[in-house]
Amino acid sequence: MTKRFGFVLARDFTLSPLAMFVDTLRLAGDEGDRSRRVMFDWQIVGDRGLPVRSSAGFEMMPTAKLGDPADYDHIVLVGGLLTPAKTLGSDKERFVLEAARKAIPLTALCTASFHLARLGLLDGYRVCVSQFHLQQFQDEFPGVAAEAVSLFSIDRDRATCAGGAGAADLASHYVRELAGDEPVEKAAKILLLDRVRGLADLQPKGELLASASNHLVRRALLLMQSLIEDDVDVALIAERLSVSRRQLERAFQADIHLGPKAALQAMRVELAKRLLQQTSLSVLEISARCGFPNPQRFAKVFQDKTGQTPRQARQNR
């Protein structure tokens, strides 16, 4: 049975999450690269004949009118520029509220989480937003449990996504639930994605990555981030990048004046601090997610690097 997705676009919406989400459905839902709507179907829902402008200036024409949201199995809102002006429109808001009333699952891509929150549809839900918008979201909706750690979050019949390429990962999650791993891997290969990320993967963030200019160092830092929960060492990182350990260490020292081992530890402590401040995970869970199988070792390293215990960091958030 075909799974139907209805997309609702805010004015000045962001093109990339819409394209990544739809293309994942398109490529995963048919054999080869034929683009038939076999497993999935999708429509841009809006005022017929009235285009919606994207943040890049391109305009997209709706393919279906605002009718009964029950015509779809899933409603996906796509946000974009955050401006004081109302960018969703009353008719679309009524459509989304009706979808919620009929218990149709709602997904918010990029800043569409702001629209759902303004409609009161995220009260009592866990919400994922981009690190670039977290403070603004928390200021506007202090009663909503928001974080900027994961790429996306799924809480019962609400899903929220930080945006960008994370939209492809969220779409892959839906595809996997319906059709298994093979269509997901096929779509990822055609989209030239290195791998499909899931609920446990993290938004790229960190001062080290921002300060690194050497291509090898940046690749190593991204690899470290993807393996941050695992018991990895510098030798394994060098092997995965097809360089010697000494070559990797020299590149790190020359570029960011820090060895790869110290950089990995700094990334783990930085992640732990974010998790302590932005989530309700236990210290034990955070220790494991940050690559410290021994909680006592984690507490000691964290205190040495930050000057406070993990529990103090949580209390002082």
Q: Is the pTM of this model over 0.85?
A: no
Give domain 3-190's CATH number out of 2.30.30.230, 3.40.50.880, 3.30.230.10, 3.40.1170.60: 3.40.50.880
**Any idea which of 122-136, 140-154, 187-201, 294-308 has the lowest mean pLDDT?**
187-201
Stretch 253-259: mean pLDDT: 90
Q: Give long-range contacts, CB 8 A cutoff, 24+ apart: 244-251.
A: 247/216, 248/216, 248/220, 251/214, 251/216, 251/217, 251/220
- Same CATH fold, 204-317 and 3-190? no
Q: How far apart are CA 225 and CA 82, in angstroms?
A: 29
Write out the two tokens for 57.
């200036």
Give residue 209's pLDDT: 67
Domain ranges of the chain: 3-190, 204-317
Identify the sign of the CA torsion 43, 47, 48, 52: negative
pLDDT at 210: 64
Q: What integer is the mean pLDDT of 165-174? A: 92
Q: What is the pLDDT of residues 41-94, one digit of tens each?
A: 999 999 877 899 999 999 999 999 999 999 999 999 999 888 776 788 899 999
Up-side HSE of residue 109: CA atoms within 13 Å toward CB?
29
Mind listing the pLDDT tens digit for each residue in 270-300?
889 888 887 888 899 899 888 888 889 999 9
Pick the CATH number of 204-317 from 1.25.40.10, 1.10.10.60, 3.30.750.24, 1.10.3720.10: 1.10.10.60
Residue % of the chain over a pLDDT of 90: 50
Check if the beta carbon of residue 111 is closer than 8 Å to that of residue 45.
no
The helix/strand count (H/E) of the chain reads as 14, 11
Q: Is 34 exposed, middle or buried (0-12, 13-18, 19+ CB in 10 A)?
A: exposed
How far is residue 270's CA from residue 276's CA, in Å, rounded to a whole number? 10
**What are the residues whose beta carbons fall under 8 Å from the beta carbon of 111, sequence distance 6 or more?**
10, 14, 79, 80, 81, 82, 129, 130, 133, 163
- pLDDT band, residue 136 (cuts 50/70/90): confident
